[in-house]
Amino acid sequence: MGEEDNGNGNGVNGDDDGVDDGTDDGTDDENGGTDEPVDIHILLPEAAMYNLPHFYGRDHNVWSDRGINISYEVTGFGQYVRGFSGDLNVGVGQNSGLSLAENIYEDVPISIFAPHMNEINHVFVRDDSDIESVPDLEGQVLGVAGLGSGTTRTFMGMWDEMYDFDLENDPAEVVDSSSASLYSFLEDGEIDAALMFTGYTVSALADDNMRSIFYPVDEWQDRTGHPGQVTLYAVFDEFLESNPEAVLNFWDGWVEAVEIFRDEFDTAIQNYGAISGVDLDEEEEIAVIQELVDNEEIFPLEWSESLIESNIEMLEVVEDVGGITGFTGRDAFITHDEIE
C-alpha cells in the first residue's frame, strides 16, 4: 500500500525510504542541558486498525513530548510477525499474543508489558439463519479466513474450552478462504457461517442482512472479567533494563494517543483511515468503528494482574488445542510496578 497524506502534506512515513526517523532535538533537563531522546522503531502491518492511533498520536507529539523518538515501518504481514524474532522492532512493539508467546517459549528475549487491541472479530450468519450460538454450527458449513491464523487458532481454543466444540471437525465442512470470498459465500448461501477478519467484521456489522453469533470481547469478558486480546505490547529485555522509564513513557503516550484518537475521531479517520484499512466512502462502516472506539471496546487502557491472568488463560486454551507450540505462563509477562 502506498503512502497516504497525513493532512500536513507529508506521507505517513515522512521519508523517501518509507521509514520516518522521527528526529527530535531532545528535551531540556533541569540543569539546562539536553537529554538525548530514546529511539523506538515499530513495524506496523498494512491495513491494521491500530495504525490510526499510532500515526495520529505521533502527529500530536505524545511520544516526542516524553523524550521518545518514535518511527514506524508499514510492511507486509509476514515481515510484521517477525518483528521480535528477527530483531526488526527497536525497543518495543506489538504483535499477536500467540506469536509473542511462541517467541518467548523459543527464547527470544522479550517480555509482554501492556495490552494493545482486543479481538474484535466476529462469527456471522445470515439474519434469517436458525443458527444462534456456537453449538448450532455442528453439521453446518463454516468459513474461516485461514485455519492457521492467530484469530482462528484463538477461536479454536475458546470454543473447545467454552463449548466443547471442535472448530475443525464438528462442522460438516470448513471452508478456508479469504475474508472477501467468505463474505460473498455467506451472502449467497454457499456457507452457513463465517469467521470474518477485522475489515469484513466491520462490513458485516454494518450489514443488516448479517448478524453475529460469537464475539470474543463479550464472551471472554463474561468468563474472565476482561475482553479477549488479539495483540499485546512487548519489549526487548535488554532495552527494558536500560530504559525502564522510556517503556513506561511509551505506554503513557499510547494511552494519550488512543484518547486523542477517540476525541478527534473524524479527523483521525480522514488522515489515516486509508492506511488502516478503512473505506472512507462507507459511512455505515465508519459509524461501526466509531461505536467500537466510543464504547472503548477496541483499545484497552489498563494493565493489571487480572488482565494478565485473562491473557494467560487465553493462551493456555489455545495451547491445549495445539494452537501454539508452547507457553511459559506468568513468566512471559511483566507489570508496570515491576518495571518501576
Please report, rounded to a whole number, the percentage of residues in the chain having pLDDT higher than 90. Answer: 88
In this prediction, residue 198 carries a pLDDT of 82
Mean pLDDT, residues 106-113: 98
End-to-end CA distance of the chain: 39
Q: CA separation (Å) from 7 to 26, 52, 72, 273, 280?
A: 25, 13, 17, 12, 15
| Angstrom distance (rounded) from CA 175 to CA 158 | 19
**pLDDT confidence tier of residue 233, bands split at 50, 70 and 90:** very high
Amino acid present at 28: D
How would residue 147 be classed by pLDDT, with cut points 50, 70 and 90? Answer: very high
The helix or strand, by DSSP H or E, that contains position 255, with its residue range, turns out to be helix 244-263
The pLDDT of residue 6 is 27
pLDDT for residue 11 is more than 50: no
The confidence score (pLDDT) of residue 98 equals 97
Burial label, 76 (beta-carbon count in 10 A; 0-12, 13-18, 19+): exposed
**SS3 of residue 96 by DSSP:** strand
The stretch 116-144 carries a mean pLDDT of 97
**Residue 257: predicted pLDDT:** 98
Return mean pLDDT, the chain.
90
Q: What's the predicted TM-score (pTM) here?
A: 0.89
The interaxial angle of helices 198-205 and 179-188, nearest 10 deg, is: 30
pLDDT band at 322 (very low <50, low <70, confident <90, very high): very high
Under a CB-based contact definition with an 8 Å cutoff, are residues 175 and 140 in contact?
no
